[in-house]
Every structure is written in C-alpha cells, then in structure tokens.
Amino acid sequence: MTFLAGDGTSRPRVLVAVSSALHVLLRGGRQPPHWHTLPGQHPTLHVPYRYGRPGSGHHPAAAAGPVMRVATLFDIHASMTALDAVLQEAAAERVDGYVVGGDVVCGAQPAATLKRLLALEPEPLFIRGNTERAVASRHPDDVRAWVHWVRAHLSDADLAFLGRLPRAASLPGLECLFCHATPRSDREIVTPASDHQRLLEAFAGVRQRLVVCGHTHIQFSMQVDDILVVNPGSVGMPIGTSAALWALVGKTVEFRRTPYDLDQACGAIRASGHPDAEPMMAELLHPFAVEESISYFERRQADDPRRGMEDATCTMPSAMTRLGTKP
C-alpha cells in the first residue's frame, strides 16, 4: 500500500486534527474519543493532564532523585540527523532524563544511533520495540532483508543489550507506564479509531493514569477509561509531517515537533546501503497522511490473525515496511 500522490504533491507537511466525521466513519458510527494532534505550525501542544501520585518501578536514572520531566523518544528508526536535532532541543529544555520507546535500530544508522543514545546522561530508560525483538531474536524463519542488514551492522554486545530490553517499564516519580505498542504486546496497534472494548482490554490492569506508547508513528492522545494514552509520534519516520515528533512528559505532557535537515537525513540513508533506502527516503520527503494511516493501521490490526499479540518473527509491518505493498 502506498499513500504517495502520483505527482508528489498535496502531501500534508504538518499534523492536522482528524475530523469528527472521519472518526465516526472509522469507528462504525460511534462517537469519536477525545484526542489531540499537533495543529498548524505550532511546535508545542500541551495535552490536558494532571500529575498524580508517583508510580512504582526502579531505574538508575532516578538514583539522585525523581525524574520529573523526561524527553520521550519513540520510533527513532536509526535516523541520526533527526535524533541529533531532538536531543539538542531536549538539552535546551534541561530535561531530567530520557525514555527511548523502541524501534531504535531499524533504519540506516543502527550502530551510531544506539551508541549516541547509550552515551546520554543520565542513561535513558530503554523499552523494547517489535523491531528490537526481531533483530535480537535471530529467528531462523525471518528472511526479511532489513532484519539481516541491521544485525550485520550491530555487535554481539548490541544485540544482547537489545534482547534484554523490557516490553514496558516505569520511572520513579512519574505516574506513567512506558511501552512500545501496548502493555501486553510490542506489536499491537491502537489508534484513536480503535474499538473501545479492545482498548479497555489492551490497557487492563494498568495502575498508572498515564501510558506513553508508540509503534504507529502518529502523534496523538486519547482517554481510555481513566487512563490517558499518549503517543509522542516518531522521531525518525513521522506521519503527517517531515519534522521529528516527540514529547516532554512530567507534570504536564507536551507534544513537540522539531524540524531537521531532510537532505542530510536522505544523504545518510542513501550512503548506508540499506536495502529499503529508496522507500525510506520517499517516506521522509512525502510523509503519510494521518487520516489514511489510521485507516490503514486499523485494517492491519483487523486482518492480523494474532490480533496484535507477539509472535516469533514480529510480522506486523512498521510504517517503513508497508511502503510499496498493496491494501
């Protein structure tokens, strides 16, 4: 399936709010959930959220005290250009820490990206994405070219590190749970158009009032019962914009959008020799639209025989791997 216009025009360059009419259509006539995206040209959107009681958990980053404001970086997809731009902005914000929410090494610069993140102070909290599981598992039935390419560009120590990452984790001082897709699976798809009962099941048992997840590359927030679910979007392969998407999470939640040098990013992809270099560059220059992506992901979830639950080879496609496929 491809969302690219034939002439390469009329592609949205910023995130837009999906209309209520579209949500009613996607949800089979039911009223849409309350949710937000980053509107217009604004680099920041404050999501309605009231800080509550601290959650449980332990992480070295909190050794000197609670981490009250963290930069949440999801779906970096090994884009050093995008990552460096976001880290520069996060440093200017004087963040207390970082959360890396999975799908870090699936891209053109896996080793350099992982090295850059591991050098941060304090050391980030890393969450496992479906692509980390695919790369680290060395499953013999996985014949995807990008998986073997990424493995070949990482050391045994890197692969062992990725294989130890948790599916979900929290930080002391924040009533927040971080996961790549949902707390029960690193490949389950949730969007603002997802069935409400399935959303309740996906987040059942979560004690925190805030869940930060990624996977779909779409920046949004929505209320699921008494839990606010926030997706910071993708740093390296965003949907709806060519800017890097991320969020600041602490006493408030702030959606952020950071412009970066697309020519430099595409140059790095081209020089890498990655087997999916051309479609990756096309996605950066002509990002998928939010509305179409929501519809696409909901169809993928509905057609998935495992209903988003984890499997041996992590076969649910990411935004990158859906390029060039048919509906």
Q: What are the structural domains, with CATH classification, of the chain?
A: 20-303 (3.60.21.10)
CA distances (Å), origin 194, targets 32, 36, 102, 208, 240: 10, 15, 21, 21, 19
**Region class of 86: left (phi > 0), else alpha (psi between -120 and 50), else beta:** alpha
Q: Which of 176, 123, 114, 120 is nearest to 150 (CA)?
A: 114
Tell the residue number behind the tokens 């902005």, with chain if given: 89
DSSP letter at 97? Answer: E
Q: Is the pLDDT of residue 268 over 80?
A: yes
Residue 120, class by beta-carbon neighbours within 10 Å (0-12 exposed, 13-18 middle, 19+ buried)? Answer: middle
C-alpha distance from residue 209 to each of 107, 163, 176, 254 (Å):
33, 28, 7, 16
Whether pLDDT at 239 is above 70: yes
Instruction: Enter the DSSP assignment of 153.
Output: T
Token pair recorded at residue 7: 């002439």
Pairing of strands 125-126, 168-170: unpaired
Q: Residue range 19-32: average pLDDT?
A: 34
pLDDT on residue 140: 59
Residue 46 pLDDT level (bands cut at 50, 70, 90): low
**Among 161, 158, 162, 111, which residue's Cα sits nearest to residue 132?**
162
Q: What is the reported pTM?
A: 0.79
At 125 the three-state DSSP class reads strand
Three-state secondary-structure class, residue 248: strand
Q: Does 54 or 164 have the greater pLDDT score?
A: 164
Residue 15: pLDDT band with limits 50, 70, 90 = very low
Look at residue 56 and tell me whether its pLDDT is greater than 70.
no
